[in-house]
Every structure is written in structure tokens, then in C-alpha cells.
Amino acid sequence: MAFFIASSPHAHSRRSTPDLMKLVALCALPGLAAQSYFFGWGTLIQLVFAIIVGLSLEAGVMLLRKRPIKSALRDNSALVTAWLLAVAIPPLSPWWLITIGLIFAIVIAKHLYGGIGQNLFNPAMIAYVVLLISFPVQMTSWISPVSLQATPVSFADAISLIFTGFNMEGLSLQQIRAGIDGITMATPLDAFKTALHTGNTATEAMRQPQFGAFAGIGWEWVNIAYLAGGLMLIKLRVISWHIPVSFLGGLIVMSGLFMLFAPGETASPLMHLLSGATMLGAFFIATDPVSASTTVKGRLIFGAFIGAMVFIIRSWGGFPDGVAFAVLLANMCVPMIDYYTKPRTYGH
């Protein structure tokens, strides 16, 4: 009988790493379907293109490193990284944006540290932050939900906008986004924060057309869909409950306390839970087995820290969401968290 020694990620499961990655992708399908339904074909096109680019980069790096290419592609880690980045960027972003992001994610954040199991930070979130800082205009060019679009974007229009910058009629993305004043120019989180800074109350901010019952139109159902997929991950024991529950718990506690002591000056806990990348971050990003904490107590602290940081960045930071920055900040703290929460050796 052979004894194999392998790098992380390790999981208490009979499933292999490729199987675990496949399940992550499958459980993300409800969220992908919701995004495509509410925001058009762009997300699906970005996903297909991202997978092609991501797998190509993975194969190229493994060739340069003189490592087996087939085994690297079969572990599906590059596929999951490409998937997460594709659903995190605006649906009609130019093709070169996802290409640059995946170069940072796979070549630098992953293989520069030694490949799968060796990366200190979540590769998809490293790429997202690099893109957001370097190309803020493109990374904030979200379109309104399909129901609010003045200029409908067909499948052919989406392909043309992504690869040429113009739709079939020659209109640019900025012209399409400007079709409805005050709706297409900002995401719900950004519009909410702007309304508060201009003296409106939270109730007045929620009266804007892009808001539904609890959060932004479309974003409510996107987050619920990712929540459903995340619960399936827990049921299948692909991830443990500690990080998602503490993440969402930290966000609820922080937003609840500030809503209690400063009513009308901050978003409600439900608004935070169903906005932006909350559920995607809680179940599919923060739970990365390589860059997250490894101890039980550490995972609870890790998740709660991310939840608190998401609230702080959304409320007072310069970016409307903050999940990516919160995850990277928590990744930096993992060595210290693991050191102080490691189990005590028996007898000591």
C-alpha cells in the first residue's frame, strides 16, 4: 500500500480535489442562473471566455514549470477561479479585463507561490482587487436589471459589447448605461451610500427605482440563489458551516447594532445580506480551504472578522461592496489566528 503526501486543500471526505471543485461549480449554478436572468447574457459569455482563458493560462504555466498539464487541468481549481472572477465583474466588461484579472489570479497569486495549496491569498479576490484599483471605470460599469433597461441588450449585442466595445447599433456601453438617469449609473449599494451622504435617510434611499422590497432589484434573488447553493455545499460536506455562519452573523450584528443606535443612517441587516457579493463571498469565496483558517475556533473568528469588515467598508470605505477587500485582509490574519487557536496537545 502506497502512502501519498500532498499539499492542501485537505478535506475530511472521500472525495478528491477535482470532485470537490466540481461540486463548488455545480452549487454555484443557481446564482449564475439568477445573474443571467436579471442582468442578461453578459455573465454567461464572460464565464465561457474566462474558463477558456483560465485553463489556457494554467496549461501554459504548467508547461513552463515542466509539470504535468493534464493533472493540473483535471483538478478544476483554475475553472473555479475563472468562474468566481467571471461572476464578480460587470457582465459587459471588455474582454481584456477578465484576461488581465486571470493572469494575476493564476500566474501570480497562485503559481508564483507554488501552485494549488500554496497560495496565501484567494486568487480570484486578488485579481478582483487589482482590477478594481487599476480599472475603476470598467469595474463599476454595471448595467441595470433587464426590467429597467431602456436599451435591451440581446445575445449578439452582449458579445459585440464585450469584444468590440459597441453593440450591433454602434452604441457604447456608457451610452446604454445612461439610458435611464440615476438608475444605470450606480449599483444599489453605491446608490444607497450616495443617498445617505447627500442627507437622505435609509428609508428615502430605498425609494429609488432600482430597489426592491429588501435590496436592489435582481440582487435580492441573486443572493438568495447563492444562499441556496451554499447550503447545498454544507449539506454535501464540501465546506463546513463555521465560516459562512460567522461571516453572516458578524455582518448582522454590526449592521443591527448601528441600525439600533443610529436609525436611518445605515442599511438594515437584510439589505446587507441580500446586496452585492454577500452570499457569494460567505459560501464560495471566504471558505477557500487554502487561504482560510484551519482550526474550528479560527474559522469562526475568520468569518466574523470578514463580516465586520464588509460592514465597515460598505459604510465608511471608498468602495460600495467590500467583500474582496475584507477577504484579503482576513487572509493576512490567518497565520496569527491559527497560531492562537490551534488545539492544545493532549496532556499539556
Do the Cβ atoms of 316 and 197 come closer than 8 Å? no
**Is 220 a member of any domain?**
no
Cα 44 to Cα 196: distance, rounded to the nearest angstrom: 34
pTM, rounded to two decimals: 0.89
Distance CA 15, CA 289 (A): 14
The pLDDT of residue 183:
46
Domain range for 70? 16-186
Which segments in the chain show pLDDT lower than 50? 180-184
In a domain, 298, yes or no: no
Summarised one tens digit per residue, pLDDT across range 105-115 is: 999 999 988 88
- Within a domain: 330: no
Task: Decide if 24 is inside a domain.
Answer: yes
Phi and psi at residue 10, to the nearest 5°: -110, 145
Q: Is residue 87 part of a domain?
A: yes
**216 inside domain:** no
Angle at 71 between CA 68 and CA 75, to 5 degrees: 145
In a domain, 249, yes or no: no
| Cα separation, 211 vs 270, whole angstroms | 13
Instruction: Say how many domains are in the chain.
Output: 1
pLDDT number for residue 1: 57
pLDDT of residue 167: 87
Classify residue 247: in a domain, yes or no: no
